[in-house]
Structure 1
Amino acid sequence: MKERIAKNYDRMSMSRFIPLILLLILLLFSMTQASEISVQVSGGIEKIEAFDEFESRYFSMSQLSEILGEKITWDIVGISAAFESEDHRVVFFINSPYIRIDDSVKNITYPVRTRNGALFVPAKIFIPMLDQIRPEQITWDEGSDRIRIDSEWYNITDLLLQAKANGLLIEIFVTEPKGYETYVSEGNWLNITVPGGTVNRRRILGRRNNRYLRDINVYQFEEAAQISLRLRQPIGKYTHRFQANPPRIQISMIDTSAAPVVQNKVDKVGPDELIDKIIIDAGHGGSDYGAIGLKKTKEKEIVLDIAKRLAKLIRKEKIFQVVMTREKDVYVPLEDRTRIANGSGGDLYVSIHANASLKRSARGFQVFFLAPAKNDAGRAAAQLENAPFLAEMSNKSGQDVDDLSFILSDMIQTEFQAESADLASMIDREFRKKLSKKTKARGIDQAGFIVLNGVYMPSILVESAFLTNKQDEKLLKSKSYRQDIAEAIYAGLKRFKAKYEKR
């Protein structure tokens, strides 16, 4: 009897839990069940996978990439994925809310997800970011659960700057006749506002011309668009009008020295058009050892020796004057390095370093100029050399090192970028003549080196070899190799002077 009662009780207990179990199964199924959202493009509708998480609508970035004619690439271990769109690169870190767009880190609030080998991101936050780096207008309509891609949306399409005999001609191209307003604001900004304008921000920003402009901003407002140009020389008299065939806003800056009359002439460098003062910056120093070699070789000692050898060559021939940021084993703060360079009226800036890598097989010499890094190797080199300066700045400002590095990545000055790249090319050529039989030629690269960002002259950073490589460390400990480095840099400096001072 007791056994029968117990069995009946068990059946009743189970019957109570069956609905709950079924509900849990249904919930789990609904959580994993993929739904779809619409993508409206070229007059048609595509469907891509989607799901909800954290009260946010996630969509398949992998499928959207295919619709855009691009693709997602994965790193070897699958912890990050990259989306490349013409000149832009977006890196997604799986299960993290942080992504990197070019050299800026963004927080998209909710973590990046993967399902069945596909990449998913939250639509509401990420789509506006994607819109900023694509030529099309891309929008997210939460109400209709739809991504819209409009390729023919802009009516302000391009910008052209041209030197004329009597000044500078600025032309803003539009698809149809448009009213506009111009005004000058503090800071030497010329602002052009177009009511009803929709501007191709990416295209306009891509027209930055450092010969005429210090900066350029593009704003898209709800009922207007604005292009703001910060000119190099003070804004004086100017005229403007609308021209047809093709439709464009035409602004003539009269008698401004911002526009050289001869466009093909090589830009002059230096306040007196002479290149006669070289700033030599030996990296690290004092308590900052820099990279440490396998045999305990210190970067700070190696680069100071190279810097002194270079200074000796310069002083011997007397073609240039030379200023050194340090001549002994002391740590020179970032602020002092830039003050020395700018305050002494330098024409060229050379920062000398030795590289390091977790991969002990990595070796070779390399020359960098200041610009946002385009690859992982450039970023790694910049992170290595920036570390002491970021720590120094963090101590002064109270901000985290990571926060400062993100801020600085958006502050890279580009005034002498073309000349710096040219100088890097010339020194790399001399390196190859002298050093390519001894170690690997890694070529020219660009990255956001803080020590170059504050100096107002063409500047390069030399990585003489890898202290973390057995063969390279041996070379760096060799006086003859260090002398070869100094001689190659000096030869490159003379080539640059000959080109840019040539009348």
Structure 2
Amino acid sequence: MRQLQAIFLMLLLAAGIHADTITLKGIGKSQPIRRLTIDKVDYLSAADLFTAVGARTDWQEGHKELKVVLGNRRLSFEVARPLCKVEDNEYNLVHAPVLRGDELYLPVQQSLFLLSDVLERVLVYDDGEATITAVREGFNVSGVNFLTKVNGDLLEINLTKKLDYEVFVSEGNWVNVTIHGGRVDVLHLTRKNPHEKIINVRAFQFANSAQVSVQLRENVVEFHDNYAPDPHRIQISIENTTFVSQAEDSTTLQRHDEYNPIDVIVIDPGHGGDREGAEGKNGLKEKDVVLDIALRLETILENGKHFTPVLTRREDKNVSLEERAQLANVARGDLFISIHANSSDQKSATGSQTFFLSPAQNDEARITALLENQDFQIDNPDATDRNKKDLDFIIMDVLQTEYLN
């Protein structure tokens, strides 16, 4: 047995994995929780963590999914999928849960932000002291999180409930967030620097508000802020000026007024099920080709580790356009890429076409839009816009006649 343990430890070290335990304090059972560090990201044993907080768990071996009931909330986590479910909403863990042996491990920081929201208690992780501490009840500002994206940085102030706020930048690259009705444990919030790009974190408690101030090492040129639920958090997207300056011609770069770093990319393989799309000469169907492309694109994005890909379907099944849109919104997708394929009798036919969201400017564009949206129109006949031009009605009539016949 000792020889097997030694071999397992050597394998962990070879893979850049460190294993130890940490302690949960101030809530539930004070007991050790197994921890893994993989490529500088800390993970906790889901079984140990949820046992400590008194949750009920159910491991679905076939789907590699852990279902959790904590209080009156239901959660689920899947192996290799960074999106977990809280009731009917999805929450981005950033790093996907991993399976080691028969144990599921969850990324520490994002999981604790999620649990702080569910438990309505602020959970503070101290990797140096190897502890997770639930600070006393009454605080609603739970922590600071910082994520580096491929084209910018994302600063998050985590809350236990939705609160009004204001953001302003002051001299010295200080990003200041005033949270109305905020209650913050100053000592716990400021005891740890969450990222190497941050110089200092300060917190201030006032009579009717709290303020969190974060000093960054890089200049804050432009930023955009918004509130995000499940769990509650204030998100501040900060433009990466280095990324922009590397563009071949920054003077011609089209910019949106509201900057927002790209994180979640929704990949939509068109058609599926009995909606087969175009068909090749030898029976090759569009629905199968685009699904294969989507799965390959997902692998490329996952390997790049810059983005979180989400697929609207992983198998040959019907998914309505409404369902695809709903999934994209739930996942909070920053980009939505729908993949389709044409067919031709000419073997020499080649090339690609790219369409982006914009009102149709000519007849060809309108025809393309109608062809790709016919599933929605047929499923939702009442959605037809009465103000459409005659050409749109004629094409729709042809499409519906073709579909019904």
Measured against the shorter chain, the TM-score band is 0.3 to 0.5
Larger radius of gyration: 1
Larger RCO: Structure 1 or Structure 2 (Cα < 8 Å, ≥ 6 residues apart)? 1
**TM-score, structure 2 length as denominator?**
0.35
**TM-score, structure 1 length as denominator?**
0.29
